[in-house]
């Protein structure tokens, strides 16, 4: 089925339980570039399964989606030599290293994911003034008067920012910036509606992920791809907890 070996990925076994819309968004990030044209190196859209099930039955394409992401995560030459890409955890740590995230390599994948999101949010807040931070806190319904200093308030904002709803907003803005055809709602909130007040911080975050000086062609796929996986995992976990 694949020209290169597919690696069973224990960190992504939940993907078949994600929504069709979310899986389509993830696939589109892998297949299309910012000009809405297929990426030169992508192989996903050429598979029989993709042609048969895209875009209505995305759960049938999960294995192909994971395989494509594994290839983007690995260097093209290295992939050719070893005959496969790399696992999601390695992609995540590579992205964290690129963003200079402080994390313990022995930590769980989920904990490393949260370190990544926290660094992204911290970077965004560091670029904002005190008044802007207070305004963001207000929009997130955080009472700024309860916190003794600005750092404590930032920590409170970051805690809210780790929620699947907020990560979903970041992903939706980021994905739309990369692939024009992505205009769907993530986390139940459509881009351009309830996001209006939060756009400043989300724009800082998304452009931080996409900065040319930071990301080469592969990172312009793997960084938002990691954010998309984090969002889907958090959303899936929330659904699981709600059913228990």
Percent of the chain beyond pLDDT 90? 35
Using CA atoms, how far residue 192 sits from 112, 154, 172, 197, 224, in Å, is 30, 25, 10, 10, 19
Asked, for residue 77, whether it belongs to a domain, the answer is yes
pLDDT digits (tens, 9 = 90+) for 45-74: 999 999 999 999 999 999 999 999 999 988
Asked, for residue 1, whether it belongs to a domain, the answer is no
Domain total of the chain? 1
Q: What is the pLDDT at residue 209? A: 63
Q: What is the pLDDT at residue 215? A: 52
Q: Which residues of the chain have pLDDT under 50?
A: 184-196, 213
Q: What is the pLDDT at residue 196? A: 47
What is the C-alpha to C-alpha distance for residues 155 and 121, in angstroms, rounded to an integer? 10
Q: What is the pLDDT at residue 193? A: 43
Asked, for residue 31, whether it belongs to a domain, the answer is yes
Q: How much is the pTM?
A: 0.83
Q: What is the pLDDT at residue 86? A: 92
Asked, for residue 124, whether it belongs to a domain, the answer is yes
Range of the domain at 26: 10-242
């Amino acid at each position: 089925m694949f020209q290169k070996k597919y690696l069973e990925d224990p960190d992504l076994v939940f993907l078949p339980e994600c929504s069709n819309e979310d899986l389509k968004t993830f696939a589109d990030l892998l297949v299309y570039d910012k000009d809405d044209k297929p990426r030169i190196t992508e192989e996903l859209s050429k598979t029989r399964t993709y042609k048969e099930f895209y875009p209505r039955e995305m759960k049938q394409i999960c294995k192909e989606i994971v395989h494509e992401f594994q290839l983007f995560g690995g260097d093209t030459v290295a992939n050719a030599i070893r005959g496969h890409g790399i696992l999601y955890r390695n992609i995540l740590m590579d992205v964290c290293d690129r963003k200079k995230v402080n994390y313990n390599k022995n930590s769980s994948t989920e904990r490393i994911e949260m370190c990544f999101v926290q660094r992204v949010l911290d970077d965004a807040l560091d670029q904002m003034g005190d008044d802007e931070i207070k305004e963001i806190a207000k929009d997130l319904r955080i009472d700024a008067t309860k916190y003794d200093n600005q750092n404590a308030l930032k920590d409170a904002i970051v805690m809210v920012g780790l929620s699947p709803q907020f990560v979903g907003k970041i992903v939706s803005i980021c994905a739309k910036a990369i692939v024009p055809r992505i205009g769907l709602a993530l986390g139940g909130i459509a881009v351009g509606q309830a996001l209006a007040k939060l756009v400043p911080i989300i724009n800082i975050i998304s452009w931080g992920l996409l900065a040319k000086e930071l990301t080469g062609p592969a990172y312009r796929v793997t960084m938002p791809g990691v954010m998309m996986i984090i969002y889907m995992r958090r959303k899936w976990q929330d659904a699981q907890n709600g059913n228990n």
